[in-house]
Amino acid sequence: MCGAGAAPRSAHGRAVTGGRLWGSVAAPPPSPGDPFLPGCRAQSVPPVPGTLRAGWLTVQKHFPPRDNELGRPARKCHTSGMLTPNGKEYAQKIPREELTHVILKLLQAWKEPLSHFNQHIEHHQQLPDDSLSKAKQISNMVHELKTGVEKVTEKMQSMGIISNSLNGIASSEGTGLSISNEANMMSDSDFIHCFRRDSNKVQSYLKILKCRIMPENSC
Amino acid sequence: MKQRFISSVQIILQLALTTVGLTGQSYPGKPQIIRCRSLEKETFSCWWKPGSDGGLPNNYTLFYSKDSEEKIYECPDYLTSGPNSCYFNKNHTNPWTTYIITVTATNEIGSNSSDPQHVDVTSIVQPDAPVNLSLETNTSANMSYIWARWSPPPLADASFNSHVYHYELRLKPEEKEEWETVSVGMQTHYEVTSLQAGVKYIVQVRCMLDLGEWSEWSSERSIQIPKERLPPEKPTIIKCRSPEKETFTCWWKPASDGGLSTNHTLLYSKEGEEKVHECPDYKTAGPNSCYFDKKHTSFWTIYNITVRATNEMGSNVSDPHYVDVTYIVQPDPPVNITLELKKSIKRKPYLVLTWSPPPLADVRSGWLTLEYELRLKPEEGEEWETIFVGQQTQYKMFSLNPGKRYIVQIHCKPDHHGLWSEWSPEMYIEIPTDFRVKDMVVWIIVGVLSSLICLTMSWIMIMKGYRMMAFILPPVPGPKIKGIDTHLLETGKSEELLSALGCHGFPPTSDCEELLIEYLEVEDSEDQQLMPSHDTHCKNTKIILKETDSDSGRGSCDSPSLLPVKCRESHSLPSALQTQDVRAKEKKGGKGSWETQCTASEQKTLPCNSESKKSCTWLAAQLPSNQAAMFAYHSTVEAFRITLNTTNVNTSPVLVGNEENRQSLYPIAETAYDGMEKINEMEYSKTDQTTVQVRQNQQNDKSPFLNPKLMDYVEVHRVRQDEEPTLLLKHKENSGKTKKCTVPGTSKEYTKVSTVMDHHILVLLPDQRTQNTPVSQEPVAETSENPQQSQAEKNTSYSTTAPSDSTRDTSGSDYMDPSSFMPSFK
């Protein structure tokens, strides 16, 4: 079961540390028959942004939002068009496969814009190195998180926890491209706002997913 | 005339006074004119205050004169202005004239007059206060004003209404102290402007004629100035909050409502939608709030919220408030907080805090994860100590100062975005001063109790000391053997004990050395010898006995005994002799001390210290065993063998079956031992005819001294004084000492007497079943009844074995073979 994890483990060494930072989602207690078995934890647990958030705060300092944080009407996020659960009940009702799908879609949608963003801020003279490295770290984490979630998804599929209806994920990358173009048009503060929102979304969905699959584990 | 009159009056007054003095009555007191006042300058009134009435009804009369005339008039009208007053109507009032007024009180005894009052009418004018003050408010052109009306003071004579008054008006807001005074003029109405809206005013007026004084202020009138009628001001949205990350509520603060009833409506639009909705629920969360239930709550969506206040005059809209519910989650404080003091292993108290998440928060779904933070401080402390706990719902606190009262509070927050909840209600816990104090008390109590018990015990011990001693150390029964002085033995007992004690401390050297006694023969006479009855196990002893000369088989078991071999000849002999000597002495007089034996042997055998010690240790440590005894036998035998081969007076014959052993060939008499040193003693013992012949068959001739195990049997021949019987203890050498070591079970006890032969001889049979059975009654007794005694006796050597007469008579069970103690020795 965990054999596949050997190779990715080294590749996602940081994912492990990220997982620790991610709190309950990142380090669920193992239970028999779940994909978060101890031996597999290192590779199966997705890294999520405890540091992502810290990094966000650091980066945001240099892109202060106008007025207060929500002091102006809707900014258009490139992921706004995506249909995502916007409440607890919805997130609990939606089939696990779809929830997983949503998570992956969100992560995928940020892959390209983040790398763009990184390139963009590299030319930003005022930014200290700390923020630059943080931004890169965030980008890496999102990538690793996506990989981790994919691994978990595969595992869950193989274990029959969720169905195999997610095979079309790869095809969504095509739409991701157009989305990322839209993202490139955003201002920096909007970008950060949207990323913050979506990272929070992903985190919430992952928590819900975990508690749906393993309700006995600290849920 | 006048003087006469006065003098006569004085006389009369004096009379009156005397009369008063007699009767208690007197002429009236002096009245006093209070004031004179003219309301309208045309009439006036004067009021007086009566003096004391002198106990009689008084009559008051007012006299007045004008400065222009000499004539004195009386008051024209006592009634109009009330009691004690005089009203001067228009006819009697002359302006610009000074009136001199006196009031006289008169009763039966006499009269008294007031001081004269000079009154000018024009100077005493003061009108009454205006009446019928009425107020109205009016609003015109956004201005409020008060319209006040009043009437001039009424006069008694209605015909004088033509007077002209000056008026003054004063007013103030109800709650204020300072009046604002306005001069009105002669009109009887006034309009007050520049008033504050919504304030209640109090108004008074007064009036004055063109001369004289101001009247009193009229009675108060108050009026409420109505509020302005304005469109409401902008309300303010205070905050929005989601207590459980599922619903949320927004509150606003209304601004001025313009004096009109105002409606508030909350409007919102969601991100990406144009449509504007109105608040779904104004009631649930109380006034000035809007509650969004689950259906209306979307996350990761920005709400654009405004509040509109509306009244008759118009409406006003608050600034927009943008909210993403994700970021406004502020849970309720944690509940079910418990504080518990526990004690750790080291008895130091620590505090265990437990709590539950707020009931609204659904933490089990994973939708909302809470983190907690607690703070505490001593009750009198200033600064809080704040501790972030994380997601756990309990916390242990160590290192709290004992004896202090702490205040603890907890709050919580969503793990990422969101706000800290309010602090939970204060919880108090008092850390006890010290747990150890209690323990100390307990220990003290325990100590006192135990010491009491000890005291009681010792007291009882003292009271019943002898009994206790007897219980613990039962008396050694004296040997009941003929020919031996029991008293001597008893006296010797203590010495035995002492010797035993003195030799303590030497550890037993070897477990291997055991002695088996196959059988015992007790004979009454020398001539009669009994063949020892061999145990089935020992049937081969004879065969082995023939081989006993060789060293084979003994080395393994007798390794400790090998050492002494060299020393045996040189030093063991003296020691053996010494022991023998002492023993013999004791036998004789019971004076031999075992201690001395031990010490003597040690001292004498300096070169062979180890051996002698060994012997001692054997004696001492192997108290219950017979080995020591055997050892003693052995040594004596050797001693005799070496020293006196032929001096043996004893007639004990050579035992059958001992022939193989050349050592055993030498009969040994106790008397003989002395022969080396003192023949006299020997002779003496001989005369006593207590001859004990010990025969030992030793397998190993080389080390007979240290190998009591080798002795299979001992024959003791005892010659009694009368009959000269011989108690013959036969120690037959153990057939195989090696065998013994390997097979410990071969040791036998001779506890049975098979037969009594010829009234002299007891035949003892080994009883396997009753090994170790204590022999309670053994008069014969080489072995004593208790182990100590046996030990002692063994140490003492054969003296105890000597008497045989009792053996003869008693049943076989009385005899206890020393070997019976061997198992315990093992």
A201/B327 touch (CB, cutoff 8 Å), yes or no? no
Residue of chain A whose Cα is closest to the Cα of B270: A74
- The answer to whether the beta carbons of residues B334 and B357 sit under 8 Å apart is yes
Cα A145 from Cα A14, distance rounded (Å): 10
Is the pLDDT assigned to residue B69 strictly greater than 70?
A: yes
What confidence score (pLDDT) does residue A111 get? 85
Is the pLDDT assigned to residue B425 strictly greater than 80?
A: yes
Q: How confident is the model at residue B305 (pLDDT cuts 50, 70, 90)?
A: very high
What confidence score (pLDDT) does residue B373 get? 93
Cα B726 from Cα B649, distance rounded (Å): 13
For residues A155 and B802, the model is more confident at: A155
CB atoms within 10 A of CB B446: 10
Question: pLDDT tens, B13-51?
Answer: 565 555 545 556 777 888 888 888 888 878 888 888 888
Cα B543 from Cα B537, distance rounded (Å): 12
Least Cα separation, residue B286 to chain A (angstroms): 24
Cα A92 from Cα A103, distance rounded (Å): 14
The partner residues of B72 in beta bridges, in order of sequence, read B65
Closest to B322 (Cβ–Cβ): which among A70, A197, A212? A70
Cα A99 from Cα B323, distance rounded (Å): 25
B326/A200 touch (CB, cutoff 8 Å), yes or no? yes
Percent above pLDDT 70 for chain B: 52
Identify the three-state secondary structure at position B656: coil
Instruction: Give the lowest-confidence range in B91-95, B287-291, B317-321.
Output: B91-95
Identify the three-state secondary structure at position B9: helix
Is the pLDDT assigned to residue B503 strictly greater than 80?
A: no
Residues of A in contact with B294 (CB under 8 A): 87-89
Looking at residue A157, the DSSP 8-state letter turns out to be H
Residues of A in contact with B323 (CB under 8 A): 70
Candidates B273, B306, B324, B369: best to mutate against A (most CBs of A within 10 A) is B369
Question: pLDDT tens, B400-414?
Answer: 888 888 899 999 999
What confidence score (pLDDT) does residue B278 get? 94
Closest to B272 (Cβ–Cβ): which among A80, A200, A215? A80
Identify the three-state secondary structure at position B446: helix
Question: pLDDT tens, B352-387?
Answer: 999 999 998 888 888 888 999 999 899 888 899 999
Q: Does A73 touch chain B (CB under 8 A)?
A: yes
For residues B202 and B600, the model is more confident at: B202
Question: How many CB contacts within 8 angstroms connect chain A with chain B?
Answer: 78
Q: How confident is the model at residue A19 (pLDDT cuts 50, 70, 90)?
A: very low
What confidence score (pLDDT) does residue B624 get? 44
B408-421 mean pLDDT = 90
Least Cα separation, residue A71 to chain B (angstroms): 6
Residue of chain B whose Cα is closest to the Cα of A204: B367
B365/A211 touch (CB, cutoff 8 Å), yes or no? yes
Per-range mean pLDDT, top range of A7-11, A106-110, B278-282: B278-282
Question: pLDDT tens, B327-339?
Answer: 899 999 999 999 9
For residues A37 and A155, the model is more confident at: A155
Helix or strand (DSSP H, E) at B32: strand B32-37
Looking at residue B569, the DSSP 8-state letter turns out to be I
B546-571 mean pLDDT = 42
Residue of chain B whose Cα is closest to the Cα of A25: B366
B223: nearest Cα among B114, B328, B120, B133: B133
Is the pLDDT assigned to residue B203 strictly greater than 60?
A: yes
Angle between helices B594-604 and B787-796 (to 10 degrees): 50
What confidence score (pLDDT) does residue B826 get? 38
Query: Is the alpha carbon torsion for B561, B562, B564, B568 positive or negative?
Result: positive
- The answer to whether the beta carbons of residues B88 and B44 sit under 8 Å apart is yes
Q: Which residues contact B242 (CB under 8 A, 6 or more apart)?
A: B248, B249, B297, B325, B328, B329, B330
Identify the three-state secondary structure at position B454: helix
A82-96 mean pLDDT = 87
In B198-334, beta strands by DSSP E:
200-208, 221-224, 236-241, 248-253, 263-270, 277-278, 289-292, 302-311, 314-317, 321-324
Report residue B411 as tokens: 């709050």
B300/A84 touch (CB, cutoff 8 Å), yes or no? yes
Residues of A in contact with B324 (CB under 8 A): 70, 197
Closest to A201 (Cβ–Cβ): which among B300, B302, B365? B300
In single-letter form, the type of residue at position B490 comes to: E
Q: What is the DSSP string of B392-433?
A: -SEEEE--PPTT-EEEEEEEEEESSSS-PPPPPPPEEEE--S
Residues of B in contact with A210 (CB under 8 A): 366
Question: pLDDT tens, B380-393?
Answer: 888 999 999 998 98
Candidates B323, B325, B388, B416: best to mutate against A (most CBs of A within 10 A) is B416
Cα B608 from Cα B703, distance rounded (Å): 14
Interior angle at CA B699, CA B695 and CA B705, nearest 5: 65
Q: Which residues contact B316 (CB under 8 A, 6 or more apart)?
A: B231, B232, B233, B234, B235, B255, B308, B309, B310
Question: B459-466 — which CB contacts under 8 Å span 24+ positions?
Answer: none
What confidence score (pLDDT) does residue B371 get? 92
Per-range mean pLDDT, top range of B20-24, B209-213, B811-815: B209-213
Question: pLDDT tens, B717-752?
Answer: 444 444 444 444 444 444 444 343 434 444 445 555
Identify the three-state secondary structure at position B663: helix
Q: How confident is the model at residue B487 (pLDDT cuts 50, 70, 90)?
A: low
Cα A126 from Cα A117, distance rounded (Å): 15
Cα B345 from Cα B687, distance rounded (Å): 80
Residues of B in contact with A209 (CB under 8 A): 366
A23/B415 touch (CB, cutoff 8 Å), yes or no? yes
How do B714-717 and B521-523 pair as beta strands? parallel
Q: How confident is the model at residue B289 (pLDDT cuts 50, 70, 90)?
A: very high
What confidence score (pLDDT) does residue A86 get? 86
φ/ψ of B513, rounded to 5, equals -85, 110
Residues of A in contact with B326 (CB under 8 A): 197, 200
What mean pLDDT value characterizes chain A?
A: 65
What confidence score (pLDDT) does residue B765 get? 58
What confidence score (pLDDT) does residue B437 get? 60
Candidates A83, A88, A99, A194: best to mutate against B (most CBs of B within 10 A) is A88
- The answer to whether the beta carbons of residues B532 and B516 sit under 8 Å apart is no
Is the pLDDT assigned to residue B209 strictly greater than 50?
A: yes
Is the pLDDT assigned to residue B98 strictly greater than 90?
A: no
Cα B597 from Cα B586, distance rounded (Å): 11
B767: nearest Cα among B777, B775, B776: B775
Helix or strand (DSSP H, E) at B191: strand B189-192
Closest to B365 (Cβ–Cβ): which among A88, A197, A203? A88
Cα A3 from Cα B316, distance rounded (Å): 68
How do B314-317 and B302-311 pair as beta strands? antiparallel
Quick one: CA torsion of B542, B544, B546, B548, rounded to 10 degrees?
-130
Closest to B322 (Cβ–Cβ): which among A72, A197, A210? A72
Instruction: Give the lowest-confidence range in B228-242, B488-502, B583-597.
Output: B583-597
What confidence score (pLDDT) does residue B99 get? 86
B367: nearest Cα among A216, A211, A192: A211
Least Cα separation, residue B355 to chain A (angstroms): 16
Residues 100 through 139 of chain A touching chain B, CB cutoff 8 Å:
none
Is the pLDDT assigned to residue A127 strictly greater than 60?
A: yes
Least Cα separation, residue A7 to chain B (angstroms): 31
B598-624 mean pLDDT = 41
What mean pLDDT value characterizes chain B?
A: 67
Closest to A87 (Cβ–Cβ): which among B298, B322, B369? B298
CB atoms within 10 A of CB B141: 4
Cα B675 from Cα B662, distance rounded (Å): 21
Q: Which residues of B touch A (CB under 8 A)?
A: 245-246, 271-272, 294, 297-302, 304, 320, 322-324, 326-327, 362-367, 369, 391, 415-417
Per-range mean pLDDT, top range of A155-159, B592-596, B645-649: A155-159
For residues B118 and B521, the model is more confident at: B118
Helix or strand (DSSP H, E) at B105: strand B98-106
Q: Does A69 touch chain B (CB under 8 A)?
A: yes
Residue of chain B whose Cα is closest to the Cα of A205: B367
Least Cα separation, residue B277 to chain A (angstroms): 16
For residues A182 and B171, the model is more confident at: B171
What confidence score (pLDDT) does residue B740 get? 39
Q: Which residues contact B705 (CB under 8 A, 6 or more apart)?
A: B561, B564, B565, B568, B572, B576, B611, B634, B635, B638
Q: How confident is the model at residue A73 (pLDDT cuts 50, 70, 90)?
A: low
ipTM above 0.85, yes or no: no
Looking at residue B328, the DSSP 8-state letter turns out to be G
What confidence score (pLDDT) does residue B532 get? 44
Is the pLDDT assigned to residue B107 strictly greater than 50?
A: yes
Q: What are the distances in angstroms from CA B203 to CA B169, B179, B185, B215, B222?
A: 7, 9, 16, 15, 6
B379: nearest Cα among B426, B435, B434: B426
Cα B711 from Cα B69, distance rounded (Å): 180
Q: What burial class does residue A36 get, using C-beta atoms within 10 Å of its C-beta: 0-12 exposed, 13-18 middle, 19+ buried?
A: buried
